[in-house]
Structure 1
């Protein structure tokens, strides 16, 4: 059985499985109660005969706050200033958010050597567990990142009616949410996420994300359980995505746990591409052993590549332990065959990344986490990672004040080709890099956080095992902007990661000298706010910049989702100031960047003009860094691409998964083969971020005035080598002259030998005073728009702009509900905020699951000089 970019292994042997072998989630039917309402012990509460009266339906996986919100006991913290109405744990005390969670489930007692296991993938922060009147964990569990597994075979009820009761304790140090980065910093004394006490892009989560926030599963095995398989792929040499491949080597092993009181002899085995690999093993009673299978030389492997460079081929492997003709346990593992290398680039003074022997210019985005309330779903992860792929990015960095991301996130990154740079749970703000009057304790004290070092290291080891098989996982990092304390750092770098992984480079911290020297005339990381476009082209920063970004406010439709009606007003025309609700949602000022488009008191108009700024900022960021590829830079990571809360800064799409123009400006600027214009030096150039030579391309340069009159400036054949930048000509003197009165449009195109557009770029250049005066005076473009269903989950929208008129400029296309005209989310646009030249047409595709399930839908389109209209889907 085959599917696109995935190879399912064809098993030669038909293995017998235990009929009972399976794994399932306990993800519904939970009930909860605050500790104050429970007057019995855990043993009594977990007795199925004990009657639960007045308990609340609970959301598991989820946090306490998620459950309270789902039961309408607190207002939506994403909306307005509702978060201020929710009691904060710092003021209420921990008991306010200490809850019992109870789940009744059916599972028959095991027979023979069969075993039943309880897995909790993450609880924040501590918990005690009871089943059918028995305490399951001997000592209280702590640590938001540490998985738990318990053999519950002895505790199962004879009649199959079981009750699980879990008391969850909040972090012992919730911290004062005083407005600092991580509040007063003491949140970092725990082994858990730091941002929950508030940051400069989020308000504090009032329960500090207390809860059973990740999956709870029941697993049934035979005598032996397979734990934490480990797959390493070796891909020697320099490879190409196409053509015949030299062999790759697979090194596969796993931990095996014998849960019985006798010796067990059996076989660990798998079959892949016609190769049957086995190893006979004898396990003493009640022991766990690491078993390494013989290496496999995989011929003609289908390789995994980062997005933009090649396909994301994935293999499915079934690792089995067979005991006396039956399968005790089976682990299904998806993996990609690839090898990640890293070198020091002495010219740039920074780390250079290669995959399968080919150097990759890193175009990345910083990621916090998907949802501030930890409402994680496979579907949301898939949508968000797909947005990053659609931006033509090839890496996501997981910021250190948050999580080790969930396996479902990594599955999406495997699927879409996003390398992952995974920080561990340290930040310069909370862990003492800087003097900070908002912090409760001094730098020397904060430098020792967290309090429990052994728990931190146990959690690191556990998370490495959980994530190490993912093709997308590229790097480990000690923390955000600071190393962990010396003893933790040494154990991670010298022992844990080499032993449990051994294939990935370990950065000591996110902007350290091991990543990027700042000795060659650069100005550090950042900037973090609105910049003149020339800054991104001409101001040198860290040669591998781990954090640089700009603004990110959404349009009116986005703002009205979480701002009350009385707050739907734009920043003040004179001062740029906003009201308290905008400030509460961490608005980052556009300063005077919107003013050249004309001041306004209308929020819808202001927000649409802000999208022009958004597009230009991020296009310039990606183009500016790419223009200095391998000279100044080996990579750049945008700060940041998304928010887990309804913040008004640093985002390519809003919390509700509605993209803004930042996404499409980034997409344009990061196009793999791309023609671009440096507004500072006036140089026209092209960047080629592929492994193929781009030959016989016609470079066509045109200008268009506000009425749509065009002028061909030049056309010339050009070529661009693999992973290089090629400069062509300086157009600044001519363009400065042509744009002086009203500004103008500058069109750049690369056409192939069939005169098809390979890449295009359209800049709107300001007049001599720096204003976009001509845009306000453009005549209307009388476009024709059609929308046609192109597949089960896709729609093609074609915009035709007749000759003789102006450019149809900066059109937002949306899929909306026919009745209320609200956007259908999430869906994915092949492009957006698009402009159509006179006499031409453009077709974009809209796709995604919401497209397929939305029967009552139509297309909305509007632009700078295109009236808002709605088009039926044919």
Structure 2
């Protein structure tokens, strides 16, 4: 019987493959043209006629915005460089018509036969639009809302010749907001259901067109009579699971809305295949009927589970959902990637905060706040993949999508599924614009802003639509009502009590990002911060909030990064005044929202020039983020259930809070975090001089050995201790205090502290090198280090993968803080993006380290550059 069943499935799948031509989808992403409404007075019915001449129209970027098109056509300068953004007219001053544009696209699509249907889908327009096809307006009334999809059955409007024209007029948000220097400008941008930071924030300058345009995909979709709409897949994984070993069954629940757009009754089967198994249900729909259909629950045997990064693999299944007619013709098909996991939350009484559980196991949240990939909405699957991969490489397990921005495109969540980053998804709103406090920069008073947005019904319809679009992603873990504030009471009640219970009842809903539901401190309050640079001891000794949604620091890149955005004349290092305790900062740096390093750079010696300043800033960067995550992890399940860094990336060329710059060039923040966030990590507490190990996995670790050494500046080593320990799962183990040894090392020059954790086979689990200040709290000894004797070889492992071997001979000084870069010799620049298994590495005397370089950018004969604190940059060829 089992053999017969398998044979039947094979036959069905083969028949399906033969009939897939009945449905298909493609994107309209090239060949668009555009013109401003000030240049044209004709109406959409005429413009959308394929015979209408598009004389004087310019090439357009779709998906994109008016401003991305202007930049591509070189009618405005690159706003990411220098002060160029100030040269672009702002919509608040020009009026909305200046950025109101027509977009037109000619495409071929024949009128279908045999009752087949053709749909036009728009995944996102900012802010309102009218849509025309071949002389007909498709929308009955003006479409509004940045986060509301559109879908039109265009079958009857297709041209008999097969030559069609789509024309869309796009209007900016209304109001556009005054960019007066406030968070979200004067706040009125929040009266729309739109992105809020476009009039400016403390980390970004105003976006001049307020992102007006067709910002998301436009597709043509073809089906037979029955269309599948917004399918929903739920996975239930009962009990407490481990990543390895055989698994008990998981339950798969699949449902979808079906619509019969044909002229007659259609019978057939809604069915899906998963892991080679077929689940099917017979369905009959009358002409014009819409029905919600739930397939029988399916018990998936021996499931391959999906886990967050650092806890287990990110297994993904391919689920093929189809409606097949009685004649075995595929009417419509949706391909869904499914991660089998179950998310729950519970209150952790000891930490006084909520904890997140995945597959029954508690997960200590190590997250980053995400704004948006590109302020100009120039998104791509490849860029999303690179940015989320960087977060994986930081050893983080969550990304919070901040509420002043947007719900991201599906490609972002696909990358999070792939790399194991849970998503904390804010809805659209912020305390700044939506009235959490009084603010003189705002046009309306606090009471007035608490009523934003103007159209509550549009907001709720947009929430429903986004939930339906995103609810199948395994990574999506938390819905949040807004950033630092709840939405108006009627919106909050509808989302919490109606929309989410109906459409997505398997995830935690938090009313706002620092809600008491997330946690409360000893005083019974919740909040976020601190922001900006801190003494390293702060993160270990100061208790903040149990589930801290925002805590952050600095993030300026090195000299190569600075040159991409700062004109040469403005490459001037900040000067710290110890009397006023303020920095003197160049005006272009200020415009790019530089956040101060205070006196921390000067602890490494007098700054020679901007290059020297940037190199020393990387030492500060590394230390700040390593200490941040170490400090929070040291109090795991005691003070904290998680923390989320503010912030890990920037959508433009900002000079703060970022692990890599806009151009995807990582700085030392990324690798300090990579170290401090290791799943199993040996670390040093600067407050009490204790060495401890955090085990962030679900399993005990037996027969591990901790080695503690102190090195002088010249490289002489002293073994403090070597200990064998057993590490409990999901906990912190205190090893010993080395206060006496550290006090002895804190001489006039400082020292290095080398901590290493190895397993029973002497393989390194965690390797952590600290540079210790002298008794004045400065790093004077680093400026007296002997020159590095490092040898460098680079060996190609495979296409796009290189091993860089760094060898430090015996009796040599520590080869300190070496940055590895992949170089395009023709351009003389770094290859971006490039992914390094580690970077800013220190190699101890008599040891070696290997950095694996991974890239997929075409480059001929790449070279490897390495520069260190005590070594000038050297370039080597790849063997």
TM normalised by structure 1 equals: 0.98
1:573–1:601: 8 Å Cα contact kept in structure 2?
no
The residue number in structure 2 matching 1:862 is 867
The residue number in structure 1 matching 2:536 is 533
The residue number in structure 2 matching 1:166 is 168
- Match of 1:396, SS state, is strand
The residue number in structure 2 matching 1:39 is 41
C-alpha distance in 1 between matches for 2:688 and 2:370: 33
Q: Larger deviation: 9-18 or 407-416?
A: 9-18
1:679–1:732: 8 Å Cα contact kept in structure 2?
no
Q: Cα offset for 1:38?
A: 1.5
Answering whether residue 758 of structure 2 is matched by residue 756 of structure 1, we say no
Matches within 5 A, 1:468-867: 468-519=471-522, 524-574=527-577, 575-850=582-857, 853-867=858-872
- Structure 1 residues 472 and 747: CA distance shift in structure 2, 3 A: same
Deviations for 1:295-323, whole angstroms, at most 9, x for unmatched residues?
00000000000000000000001100011
C-alpha distance in 2 between matches for 1:770 and 1:603: 23
- Match of 1:29, SS state, is coil
Q: Cα offset for 1:856?
A: 3.2
The residue number in structure 2 matching 1:6 is none
Q: Cα offset for 1:288?
A: 1.8
The residue number in structure 2 matching 1:250 is 252
The residue number in structure 1 matching 2:4 is none
1:11–1:272: 8 Å Cα contact kept in structure 2?
no
Q: Cα offset for 1:343?
A: 0.1
Q: Cα offset for 1:519?
A: 3.0
The residue number in structure 2 matching 1:72 is 74
The residue number in structure 1 matching 2:13 is 13
Q: How many residues align?
A: 864
Matches within 5 A, 1:210-609: 210-325=212-327, 326-519=329-522, 524-574=527-577, 575-609=582-616
The residue number in structure 2 matching 1:3 is none
C-alpha distance in 1 between matches for 2:56 and 2:195: 32
C-alpha distance in 2 between matches for 1:779 and 1:407: 52
Deviations for 1:130-175, whole angstroms, at most 9, x for unmatched residues?
0000111111100001010000001000010000000000001100
Answering whether residue 194 of structure 2 is matched by residue 189 of structure 1, we say no
TM normalised by structure 2 equals: 0.97
Deviations for 1:6-28, whole angstroms, at most 9, x for unmatched residues?
xxx98853225253421000000
Deviations for 1:446-484, whole angstroms, at most 9, x for unmatched residues?
000000000000000000000000000001000000011
C-alpha distance in 2 between matches for 1:696 and 1:371: 47
Deviations for 1:799-844, whole angstroms, at most 9, x for unmatched residues?
1111111000000110011134211100100000000001111101
C-alpha distance in 2 between matches for 1:317 and 1:863: 49
Deviations for 1:428-461, whole angstroms, at most 9, x for unmatched residues?
0000001111000001000000000000000000
Task: Give 1:872's match in structure 2, choosing from 868, 874, 877.
Answer: 877
1:10–1:272: 8 Å Cα contact kept in structure 2?
no
The residue number in structure 1 matching 2:117 is 115
Q: Larger deviation: 39-48 or 260-269?
A: 260-269
C-alpha distance in 2 between matches for 1:778 and 1:94: 60
- Match of 1:770, SS state, is coil
Q: Cα offset for 1:521?
A: 8.2
1:18–1:222: 8 Å Cα contact kept in structure 2?
no
Deviations for 1:607-642, whole angstroms, at most 9, x for unmatched residues?
000000000000000000000000000000000000
2:265–2:287: 8 Å Cα contact kept in structure 1?
yes
1:270–1:278: 8 Å Cα contact kept in structure 2?
yes
RMSD (Å), alpha carbons:
1.2
Q: Cα offset for 1:293?
A: 0.4
Q: Cα offset for 1:261?
A: 3.0
The residue number in structure 2 matching 1:98 is 100
- Match of 1:76, SS state, is coil
Any unmatched runs of 5+ in structure 2? 1-8
Q: Cα offset for 1:573?
A: 4.3
- Match of 2:487, SS state, is coil
Deviations for 1:361-419, whole angstroms, at most 9, x for unmatched residues?
00000000000000000000000000000000000000000000110000000000000
C-alpha distance in 2 between matches for 1:621 and 1:264: 60
Q: Cα offset for 1:760?
A: 1.2
C-alpha distance in 2 between matches for 1:746 and 1:38: 70
- Match of 1:867, SS state, is strand
Q: Larger deviation: 153-162 or 749-758?
A: 749-758
Q: Cα offset for 1:275?
A: 2.6
C-alpha distance in 1 between matches for 2:408 and 2:44: 31
Q: Cα offset for 1:523?
A: 8.2
- Match of 2:789, SS state, is coil
Q: Cα offset for 1:346?
A: 1.1
